[in-house]
Structure 1
């Protein structure tokens, strides 16, 4: 014969008393904790402002480092371009030097 299956959880009515019994301590603790946290909030405001200032400084420092890195990368390219322009101008001057006496005679 197979025995009847028992419910895993005993059937117990969920009443308002049970609900209030679990919720009441939480509700009573909330004002107490708020009162306990009030002095901490005054101490935390300057700390929070300091953390914000530090984060901004770090952001500014990272931006400066990025700008320096970009400048370091751009400097060799700019120097190379300047050298190329100098060489082109020098070649133009070298071509123009032999023609200068002829141009003076024609003038």
Structure 2
């Protein structure tokens, strides 16, 4: 396998994934807390993520967006998107800015 030519860091991957919006909320999937981790090796990039619900109607679109972004920035690495339900997503996983965007002034309102 050819070594990737692009330097990819956890921070740069998260920044790019932050451009993907959840169609229901209109907010970044990173700000919503849907991306649990991004693991990067010389050969592979793996995103560990969840959805707001197992029945999320936009799940395939969101996961496809994650796959597409990581393929674009991965520098030739294999991309894996791993969906998990542990821990279960809750609104408390959102950033403060996302909560404020939704009109929740205090995290205690969650």
TM-score (norm 2): 0.19
Greater relative CO, 1 or 2 (CA 8 Å, sep 6+): 2
TM-score norm. by structure 1 comes to 0.19
Higher strand share: 2
Which of structures 1 and 2 has the bigger CA Rg? 1
Higher share in helix: 1
